[in-house]
């Protein structure tokens, strides 16, 4: 750590490491120095002049955002001169900024508006006509209103440095300057919307949120994104039981303010017109709406009779349901239905990694490790597309700590731009590149290794042996696809494992075997779509599907129970790095129920309620704490933020099933069934298809 | 996109002048000489220069938009008259010179005559404050220009002469 420097701000004697900027030192001590262009984490711009302060023995006011603290420096941030400077800066910024706050989306949470209210530059001495430029739509989600732009260039830096995309630039000069998209009149980018979030004014607005509401009319519900396994916290803006916005401006959660297109915009599947809002039952070969009680009774009666007659059950769980639901489902399957035929779509070899790390502690990488560890090795994954938050963390690590990034992937990836070594290997052969990297990696002081589904089974053991032989601290992450893929494995949605990676010791059918079994008596699918491209082997099976939509699987069902999405329920989920986070209900959709409640109600109808215990998320969580390895985390800790599960610390005594592991390779704009029903993701995909790629975007 | 052999040779010289990882340093000279040949900074030129110096086309457009001597999209006339109206020139009659040019040529800011021979632009500081008011035609500078001198220059151009042929007004050798 750099030496501490002593200095004074507003009469307070403070100290900070040498090199700290005055604006940061002040903020860390609760002294606000306003700024538009300065933004923590990005390069310095010194464009807005809002942070001018007085410094004793310096002849003119100084820009606090580029001035490092110096020994015995005396800074004043609240003098008549400073206040005047801020007022005049605002007057200058307003010389072209329209006063359309009443119709501007940003009104109420606008940094410029706040400053003008505080410093009161209500009157302008400028008589020049304001320059008008028409508003432009750059993509389905990004709109630019040039006159509102105060040219702080936050968006340009967020896109270039934060995202590694560099889709925004500045054209023209002086007062005529404009922010410009990379393809003339439109953007080709990740559509992450970081530029919109970071805009201090209403110059960049969001296609989904614009003109929908005012900020103070929304309730803000912090929950976890329902798409990929990075587990970003998203704060949903809810108005009148409708989600109108997703962002994370309060920087709570593991992801700070980062969100990708899916976390920010793709909440709109929940009110799609095809959303199921009533249970359906097959009557004369056709699915007809019925009441919940009829549907539940039908399921319970059939399940009970099949169980008595010893019929073969198959249960397929989801990657998107909560931990509580997964735990409760497998308990129901194993204890009430008496079957071990339970599985889910496996998207990464977590089990083998846990096994390979047995006996070792502190070996599973958390999302913060991607930001803090001096070196990162990526195997097989195109992180920027498949795991945007991890990719963002690595870029920030490179920017702030000059991290060494190594990428071994089949194709060109964004990490190549700042990697020390990028190696191309066909999928499945990534680990053959390891020995070539040995000397470079062994010279690092710490390493995180993230690997995709192409490294599985024996390759994971080889990888861990290699990592452990480097003689440096190494942490690992098995990349998985969906928001709770990790929770599905952790809670025993596989025939071979019980919750907490305990060997089940029983035989059971896997997803593929369940689907093809000709003697299956009942198939129960919760939030998955195994029949999307397969036909059920058993013609007489009683099929029950819990889903939000009439998927290919649901169309084949005898009973369809409409379930609530992750944004409509409470509970916890575990991200790919094993971090447990709380999900919170933001809205409700009439006619649907959370899967936990549906399972509970079926249990009740079957007379097994006492055996199953209460189906409230908190009650199930308490049971999980006492029964599931690694999950003894007090709920308040989860409420406060992500808590990583404890290591299992023992061999997982099961045969690895690498052949069952297959990632769906979801990209920035796809997300299984949810993606299919997200209007905004579809419009982005359509728009991109409409524009033939014309110039290099790398 | 291909250029004349002379320009290709010139580009090669520029690119060879800078270290391999600093090729972007050749961006501005390539744009200005490219513009001389193409007529303006066209989309095609932007793409080509971006490719050759290894930057994104957007980065080229950022540079091209910043410099008033680079004309993005629309070509200027064969003889491009530039009148400075920034503070030093404005204080000694630059703005009046610009108005005079507008009236005389019947052109506004960045407008081109119908025959493409003359164009006019009100420019930001051209670094000739000590000799204000300054006027530039093509790459030629005229210092401490009087309204009478400007008239002569513009009349000459309107009569189809090149600036070299308008000997009454001394051009600055820089």
The domain that holds A179 is classified in CATH as 3.30.70.20
Q: What Cα–Cα distance (Å) separates residue A485 from each residue in A154, A319, A347, A393?
A: 35, 4, 7, 21
Same domain, A638 and A507: yes
The band of B173, judged by pLDDT with boundaries at 50, 70 and 90, is: confident
b/e map of A640-661 (b: 16 or more CB within 10 Å)?
Answer: eebbbbebbeeebebebbbebb
Identify the weakest region by mean pLDDT among A280-284, A495-499, B165-169: B165-169
Burial of A204: CB neighbours in 10 Å, binned 0-12, 13-18, 19+: buried
Please indicate, yes or no, if residue B137 is contained in any of the structural domains.
yes
Q: Which residue range(s) make up the domain with B117?
A: 79-165
CA nearest neighbour of B30 among B55, B1, B10:
B10
Mean of per-residue pLDDT scores for chain A: 94
**Last residue in a domain, options A478, A499, A532:** A478
Write the Ramachandran bin of A209: left for phi over 0, alpha for psi from -120 to 50, otherwise beta.
alpha
Same domain, B92 and B149: yes
Residue of B nearest to A694 (CA): B47
**Last residue in a domain, options B18, B33, B66:** B66
ipTM for the whole complex: 0.85
Q: Report the pLDDT averaged over residues A535-561.
A: 97
**Last residue in a domain, options B28, B45, B66:** B66
Interface contact flag, B57 A696, Cβ < 8 Å? yes
pLDDT tens digits, one per residue of A330-350: 999 999 999 999 999 999 999
The answer to whether the CB of A473 falls within 8 A of the CB of A573 is no
The domain that holds A390 is classified in CATH as 3.40.228.10
Interface contact flag, B58 A170, Cβ < 8 Å? no
Interface contact flag, B58 A166, Cβ < 8 Å? yes
Interface contact flag, B56 A182, Cβ < 8 Å? yes
Same domain, B145 and B83: yes
Q: How confident is the model at residue A1, as a pLDDT?
A: 56
Same domain, A43 and A132: no
* pLDDT beyond 90 at A121: no
Please indicate, yes or no, if residue A100 is contained in any of the structural domains.
no
Same domain, A174 and A241: yes
Whole-number percent of chain B with pLDDT over 70: 99
Mind telling me how many Å the CA of B119 is from chain A's nearest CA? 20
Interface contact flag, B58 A174, Cβ < 8 Å? no
Q: Which of A153, A156, A164, A169 to mutate to test the interface with B (most CBs of B within 10 A)?
A: A169
Q: How confident is the model at residue A267, as a pLDDT?
A: 96
Same domain, B84 and B53: no
Q: How confident is the model at residue A647, as a pLDDT?
A: 63
Please indicate, yes or no, if residue B73 is contained in any of the structural domains.
no
The domain that holds B90 is classified in CATH as 3.40.30.10
pLDDT tens digits, one per residue of A137-188: 999 999 999 999 999 999 999 999 999 999 999 999 888 899 999 998 999 9
pLDDT tens digits, one per residue of B104-136: 999 999 999 999 999 999 998 989 999 999 999
Please indicate, yes or no, if residue B126 is contained in any of the structural domains.
yes
The answer to whether the CB of A10 falls within 8 A of the CB of A125 is no
Same domain, A292 and A154: no
Q: Does A189 touch chain B (CB under 8 A)?
A: no
Please indicate, yes or no, if residue B145 is contained in any of the structural domains.
yes
Same domain, A503 and A571: yes
Q: How confident is the model at residue A153, as a pLDDT?
A: 96
Same domain, A557 and A474: no
Q: Does A414 touch chain B (CB under 8 A)?
A: no
pLDDT tens digits, one per residue of A269-278: 999 999 999 9
Q: How confident is the model at residue A695, as a pLDDT?
A: 42
3-state helix, strand, coil in chain A (%, to 5): 35, 20, 45
Q: Does A182 touch chain B (CB under 8 A)?
A: yes
Same domain, B111 and B61: no
The domain that holds A515 is classified in CATH as 3.40.50.740
| Phi, psi for B157 (deg, rounded to 5) | -60, -40
* pLDDT beyond 80 at A648: no
Closest partner residue to B66 (CB to CB) among A173, A184, A695 is: A173
Q: How confident is the model at residue B130, as a pLDDT?
A: 95
Same domain, A381 and A340: no
Question: DSSP assignment of A353-371, as one string?
Answer: HHHHTTT--S-BPPTTHHH
Mind telling me how many Å the CA of A575 is from chain B's nearest CA? 36
Q: Which residue range(s) make up the domain with A319?
A: 280-344+484-675
Please indicate, yes or no, if residue B93 is contained in any of the structural domains.
yes
Burial of A8: CB neighbours in 10 Å, binned 0-12, 13-18, 19+: middle
Interface contact flag, B65 A166, Cβ < 8 Å? no
Please indicate, yes or no, if residue B170 is contained in any of the structural domains.
no
Interface contact flag, A173 B58, Cβ < 8 Å? no
Q: Does A160 touch chain B (CB under 8 A)?
A: no
Cα separation, A299 vs A307, whole angstroms: 12
Interface contact flag, A180 B62, Cβ < 8 Å? yes
Closest partner residue to B62 (CB to CB) among A169, A695, A697 is: A169
Same domain, A228 and A253: yes
The band of A651, judged by pLDDT with boundaries at 50, 70 and 90, is: confident
Same domain, B86 and B152: yes
Same domain, B85 and B157: yes
| Interface of chain B toward chain A, CB-CB under 8 angstroms | 43, 47, 50-51, 56-59, 61-62, 64-68, 124
Cα separation, A225 vs A231, whole angstroms: 6
* pLDDT beyond 50 at A362: yes
Distance of CA A503 to the CA centre of its chain: 31
**Last residue in a domain, options A241, A271, A301:** A271
pLDDT tens digits, one per residue of A185-225: 999 999 999 999 999 999 999 999 999 999 999 999 999 99
**Last residue in a domain, options A93, A126, A149:** A93
Same domain, A578 and A616: yes
Same domain, A340 and A355: no
Which long-range contacts does B36-39 make (Cβ < 8 Å, 24+ apart)?
B37/B3, B37/B4, B37/B7, B38/B75, B39/B75
Q: Which of A195, A696, A698 to mutate to test the interface with B (most CBs of B within 10 A)?
A: A696
Cα separation, A661 vs A656, whole angstroms: 10
Residue of A nearest to B59 (CA): A169
Q: How many domains does chain A have?
A: 4
Cα separation, A198 vs A393, whole angstroms: 17
Same domain, B49 and B97: no
Q: Report the pLDDT averaged over residues A5-30.
A: 96
Same domain, B49 and B89: no
Which residues make Cβ contacts (< 8 Å) with residue B9, sequence separation at least 6? none
The CB-side HSE value for A39 (13 A sphere, CA atoms) comes to: 23
Q: Report the pLDDT averaged over residues A101-129.
A: 90
Q: Report the pLDDT averaged over residues A597-605.
A: 97
Please indicate, yes or no, if residue A680 is contained in any of the structural domains.
no
Same domain, A522 and A664: yes
CA nearest neighbour of A365 among A527, A521, A575:
A575
* pLDDT beyond 60 at A698: no
Closest partner residue to B65 (CB to CB) among A167, A168, A172 is: A172
Q: How confident is the model at residue B174, as a pLDDT?
A: 61
Beta-carbon contacts below 8 Å between A and B: 42
């Amino acid at each position: 750590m750099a030496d501490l420097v002593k200095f004074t701000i507003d009469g307070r004697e403070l100290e900070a490491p040498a090199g700290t900027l005055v604006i940061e030192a002040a903020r860390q001590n609760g002294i606000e120095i306003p700024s538009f262009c300065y933004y923590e984490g990005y390069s310095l711009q010194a464009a807005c002049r809002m942070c001018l302060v007085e410094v004793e023995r310096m002849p003119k006011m100084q820009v606090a955002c580029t001035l490092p603290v110096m020994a015995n420096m005396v800074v004043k941030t609240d003098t008549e001169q400073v206040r005047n400077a801020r007022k005049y800066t605002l007057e200058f910024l307003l010389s072209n900024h329209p006063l359309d706050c009443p119709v501007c989306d940003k009104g109420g949470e606008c940094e410029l508006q706040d400053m003008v209210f505080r410093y009161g530059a209500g009157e302008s001495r400028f008589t020049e006509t304001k320059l008008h430029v028409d508003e432009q739509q750059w993509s389905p989600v990004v709109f630019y209103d040039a006159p509102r732009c105060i040219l702080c260039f936050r968006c340009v830096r967020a896109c270039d440095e934060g995202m590694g995309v560099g889709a925004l630039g500045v054209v023209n000069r002086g007062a005529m300057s404009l922010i410009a998209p990379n393809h003339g009149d439109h953007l080709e980018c990740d559509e992450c919307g970081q530029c919109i979030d970071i805009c201090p004014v209403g110059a960049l607005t969001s296609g989904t949120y614009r003109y929908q509401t005012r900020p103070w009319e929304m309730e803000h519900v912090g929950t976890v994104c329902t798409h990929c396994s990075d587990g970003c916290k998203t704060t949903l803006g809810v108005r009148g039981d409708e989600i109108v916005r997703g962002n994370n401006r309060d920087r709570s959660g593991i992801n700070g303010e980062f969100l990708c297109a899916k976390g920010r915009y793709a909440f709109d599947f929940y009110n799609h017109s095809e959303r199921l809002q009533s249970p359906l039952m097959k009557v004369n070969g056709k699915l007809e709406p019925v009441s919940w009680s009829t549907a539940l009774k039908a399921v319970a009666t059939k399940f009970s009779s099949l169980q008595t007659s010893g019929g073969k059950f198959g249960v397929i769980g989801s990657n998107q349901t909560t931990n509580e639901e997964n735990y409760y489902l497998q308990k129901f399957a194993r204890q009430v239905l008496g079957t071990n035929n339970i599985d889910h779509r496996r998207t990464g070899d977590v089990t083998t990694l846990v096994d390979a790390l047995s006996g070792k502690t502190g070996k599973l990488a958390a999302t913060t490790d991607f930001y803090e560890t001096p070196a990162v090795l990526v195997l097989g994954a195109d992180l920027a597309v498949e795991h945007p938050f991890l990719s963002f963390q690595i870029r920030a690590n490179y920017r702030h700590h000059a991290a060494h990034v190594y990428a071994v992937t089949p194709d060109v990836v964004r990490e190549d731009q700042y990697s020390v070594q990028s190696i191309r290997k066909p999928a499945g052969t990534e680990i053959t590149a390891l020995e070539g990297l040995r000397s470079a990696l062994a010279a690092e002081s710490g390493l995180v290794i993230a690997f995709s589904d192409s490294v599985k089974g024996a390759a994971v053991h080889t990888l861990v042996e290699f990592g452990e032989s480097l003689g440096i601290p190494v942490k690992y992450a098995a990349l998985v696809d969906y928001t709770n893929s990790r929770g599905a494995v952790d809670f025993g949605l596989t025939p071979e494992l019980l919750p907490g990676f305990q060997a089940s010791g029983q035989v059971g059918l896997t997803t593929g075997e369940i689907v093809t079994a000709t003697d299956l008596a009942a198939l129960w699918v919760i939030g998955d779509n195994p029949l999307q491209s397969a036909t059920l082997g058993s013609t007489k099976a009683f099929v029950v599907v819990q889903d939000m939509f009439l998927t290919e699987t649901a169309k084949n069902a005898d009973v369809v129970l409409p379930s609530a999405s992750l944004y409509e329920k409470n509970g916890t989920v575990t991200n790919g790095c094993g971090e447990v986070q709380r999900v919170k209900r933001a809205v409700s959709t009439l006619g649907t129920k959370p899967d936990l409640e549906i399972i509970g109600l079926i249990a009740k109808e079957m007379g097994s309620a006492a055996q199953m215990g209460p189906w409230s998320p908190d009650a199930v969580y308490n049971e999980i704490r006492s029964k599931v390895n690694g999950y003894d985390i007090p709920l308040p800790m989860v409420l406060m933020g992500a808590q990583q599960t404890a290591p299992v610390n023992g061999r997982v005594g099961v045969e690895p099933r690498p052949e069952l592991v297959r990632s769906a390779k979801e990209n920035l704009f796809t997300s299984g069934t949810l993606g299919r029903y997200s209007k905004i993701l579809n419009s982005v995909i359509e728009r991109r298809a409409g524009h033939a790629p014309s110039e290099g975007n790398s | 996109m291909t250029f004349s052999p002379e320009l290709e040779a010139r580009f090669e010289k520029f690119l060879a002048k800078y270290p391999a990882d600093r090729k972007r340093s050749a961006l501005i000279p390539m744009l200005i000489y490219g513009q001389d040949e193409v007529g303006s900074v066209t989309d095609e030129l932007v793409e080509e220069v971006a490719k050759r110096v290894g930057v994104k086309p957007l980065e080229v457009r950022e540079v091209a938009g910043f410099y008033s001597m680079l004309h993005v999209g629309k070509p200027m006339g064969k003889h491009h008259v530039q009148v400075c109206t920034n503070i030093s020139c404005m204080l000694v009659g630059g703005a009046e010179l610009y108005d005079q040019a507008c009236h005389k040529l019947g052109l506004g800011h960045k407008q081109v005559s119908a025959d493409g021979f003359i164009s006019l632009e009100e420019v930001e500081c051209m670094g000739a404050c000590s000799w204000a008011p300054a006027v530039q035609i093509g790459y030629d500078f005229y210092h401490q220009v009087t309204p009478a001198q400007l008239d002569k220059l513009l009349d000459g151009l309107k009569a189809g002469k090149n600036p070299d042929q308008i000997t009454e007004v001394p051009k600055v050798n820089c």
